[in-house]
Amino acid sequence: MTTARLGSVRDVDWRVALRRYGWNTGVWLLLIALLVFYASTIPSFGSFQIASIAKNSLPLVFLAIAQAVIVIAGGIDLAVGSMLILSNAVAAQLMDEQAFGITLMVAVLVILMAAALNGAVGWVISVSKVPDIVVTLATLFIIAGLALLVLPSPGGGTSDGFRALFTGSATGTGTNFWPALVMLFVPMLGAAWWMKHSRTGLSLYATGSDPTAAYLSGVNTARAKIVSYAVGGAFAAMGGLASLAITGSGESRFATASNFTLKSVAAIVLGGVALTGGIGSVVGAAAAGIVLFVLSPVLSAMGVDPNTAQVIQGALIVLVMMIAGIVQLRRERAA
């Protein structure tokens, strides 16, 4: 086997680096370009706009992170949107008219509840051997139903402090963008670090990348599945809490749930997470979440009406996926 190349791989060039970090960098550059363009198009771009974009993209960003964690581990969760509205509904009921301290405790409780519930979904998937997509299609309905039971009609509320925690102001609108930015970046970077540096996080990548090799390496793949769903549930709950803080009251419409789910899938795909698992990062998914949100104000600033914006958004996703598909195909041919 004279042709087998030996160990040296230091000469693997920029192409490898591009493949590993290219997509992430690209999405962030796209986001920055969009923001710069937005800033230059509208008459006044200031802290109000920054705060508005940062806080309003929070729910989708959290949901994108939730979906990314689950998909990286080899699953897919169609019920993240339902989990968002369930957490939103529970929190709105329990936090109504409560002091800031209590609302904080409720928030922690809601996150833990969502993690436990979604962890149970992961357990059902690994025990029943029913495909992820079917189980979570069912839980999409079940969890949305629970949300509707908890909060039959829009209502409930939260404390001013809690609203300020996510939005920077007690009314949900203002110019203080720091809280929203902190809420955006801290959980995102935390999740990214955990995924790549803890053994549990790596076991999620391993399970999604090659379940057989992961099992042979001593990874408990069933546990990895359950953990990924639990963490995803927790982030979906964060999304629910964020939207409660933004609007000041809860709502549990089924359409919101299914819409959010679809957007979370779009976000991770745009963010470079492979639906086959093992590839991608929560950072990319989060950036794509912001991009999907920012796209509409940017396009409307350009004078494109919102409906055309919607068309462009869909076409953009298809285009990105086609390019990714062709790149993948060429790489396989070359191999």
Partner 1 sequence: MSDKPLLQADGIAKRFGTVVALRSANLQVEPGEIHALLGANGAGKSTLVKALSGVHRPDAGSIRVNGELFDVRNPRIAAEAGLATVFQDPALIPDLTVEENLRLTNLPSEVVHDWLERMDLADVDFEAQIRDLPLPTLRLLDLARALARDPSLLMLDEITAALTADQAEHVFAVMEDRKSRGKSVLFITHRLGEVLRMCDRATVLRDGQDVEVCVPGEVGEAGLVQAMLGEVAKATPDESSALASLDEAPVALETIELRSGDEVRGVSFSLRAGEVLGVAALEDQGQDRLFELLSGDRRADAGEIILADGEALDARSPYDAVRKGVVLVPSDRLHALLPKRPIRENLTTPLYNKITKWFSLAGDEKQRVDSAIDRLSIDTRAGKQAGRLSGGNQQKVVVGRWLASGFRVLLCFDPTRGIDVGTKQQIYHLLRELADGGAAVLLYTSELAEIPLVCDRVLVLYDGEIVDEQPAVNATEQALLTAAHGISEEVA
Partner 2 sequence: MSLESREEMVPDISQPRWTIWLSDHPLVVLGSVLVVLVLVTGVIEPNYLSVSGLRNTVLLAAPLGIMAGAQTILMLTGGIDLSVGMIATAAAYVAANQSPNGALIAITLGLLVGVAAGTVNGIGVGVFQVNPLIMTLAMSSILIGLFTALSFTVLQGSTTVNDFISTLGGGSFLGNRIPYNALVWTGVSLLIVYGLRYTGFGRLLYALGDNPVATRLAGVRSWQVLIVAYALAGLLAALAGILLAGRTGAVDLQLAVNFLLPSVAAAVIGGTSIFGGIGTYSGTVLGALILGVLATMLTFLNAGQAIQQIVYGSIVLGLAWLYARVTGVS
Q: Residue 279: which of partner 2, partner 1, none does it interact with, CB under 5 to 8 A by kind?
A: partner 1
Nearer to partner 2, 125 or 241 (CB): 125
Q: Residue 255: which of partner 2, partner 1, none does it interact with, CB under 5 to 8 A by kind?
A: partner 2
Among 41, 169, 173, 209, binds partner 1 (CB under 8 A): 209
Could you say which residues in the range 48-87 bind partner 1, by CB under 8 A? none
Helix (H) or strand (E) holding 69: helix 58-72
Judge contact between 295 and 311, C-beta under 8 A: no
Contact region with partner 1 (CB under 8 A), list: 33-41, 109-117, 127-135, 210-218: 210-218
Nearer to partner 1, 9 or 318 (CB): 9
Nearer to partner 2, 36 or 116 (CB): 116
Residue with tokens 């959010």: 260
CA proximity to 232, closest of 61, 63, 85, 89: 63
Among 50, 66, 146, 184, binds partner 2 (CB under 8 A): 146
Nearer to partner 1, 112 or 324 (CB): 324
Nearer to partner 2, 145 or 172 (CB): 145
Task: Work out the burial of residue 123: count CB atoms within 10 Å of its CB; fewer than 13 is exposed, 13-18 middle, 19 or more buried.
Answer: middle
Contact region with partner 1 (CB under 8 A), list: 8-16, 39-47, 104-112, 159-167: 8-16
Could you say which residues in the range 252-291 bind partner 1, by CB under 8 A? 278-279
**Neighbouring C-beta atoms of residue 335, cutoff 10 Å:** 5
- Residue 285 found at the interface with partner 2 (CB under 8 A): no
CB of 318 to partner 1, least distance (A): 24
- Residue 313 found at the interface with partner 2 (CB under 8 A): yes
Nearer to partner 1, 2 or 153 (CB): 2
> How far is the C-alpha of 273 from the C-alpha of 202, rounded, in Å?
15
In this structure, which long-range contacts are made by residues 293-300, counting pairs with CB atoms below 8 Å and at least 24 apart in sequence?
Answer: 293/53, 293/56, 293/57, 293/60, 293/61, 294/31, 294/34, 294/35, 294/38, 294/53, 294/57, 295/34, 297/38, 297/53, 298/34, 298/37, 298/38, 298/41
Largest CA distance in the chain: 76
Judge contact between 286 and 271, C-beta under 8 A: yes
Interface positions with partner 1 (CB under 8 A): 1-10, 12, 16, 20, 196, 199, 202-203, 205-206, 208-210, 212-220, 278-279
